[in-house]
Amino acid sequence: MDNLHDYRSGDVLALDVEVLDDSTRLWNDADVSTWFNRVRERVGAYVPWFYISTSALRSADWSRTIASGARLWAATWGANDGNYPGPPDLGGSYPDWAVHQYSSVGSVAGTSPIDLDLARAPGRST
């Protein structure tokens, strides 16, 4: 939180739930919900977001994170060819997704490779 500067109400604050750098494990539901609560203590009301692969999502219970109201940024690439493969398979592990990262090899305005994502308004289907 000490590195969060110029936060404005409504800005997206997302937690990247991946094994990165020198980490040895993926954060679990308790870790994620604790982080969201600590952020809330510092910034007040906000909508938490978390980014996670659908395989990691399906392998655990996320009831505390769901209860926090966190919006899901689901990563699953299918063929990873830059084409949209259809909605992510959440396997019943989360009520819905807000953003789907579906490729890491996309191209936008001549820039490639680049991650491609599809975002949806709350309550909207693909």
Per-residue CA distances from 86 to 14, 51, 79, 97 (Å): 23, 18, 11, 13
Q: What is the chain's pLDDT, residue by residue, as a tens digit (126 residues)?
A: 788 888 888 888 999 999 877 778 899 999 999 999 999 988 888 889 999 999 999 999 999 999 999 999 999 998 999 999 999 999 999 999 999 999 999 999 999 999 999 999 876 555
Q: What are phi and psi of 31, to 5 degrees?
A: -60, -50
- Report pLDDT for 124: 57
Per-residue CA distances from 118 to 22, 45, 74, 110 (Å): 30, 25, 10, 19
Which of 118, 44, 47, 42 minimizes the C-alpha distance to 84?
Answer: 118
- Report pLDDT for 44: 87
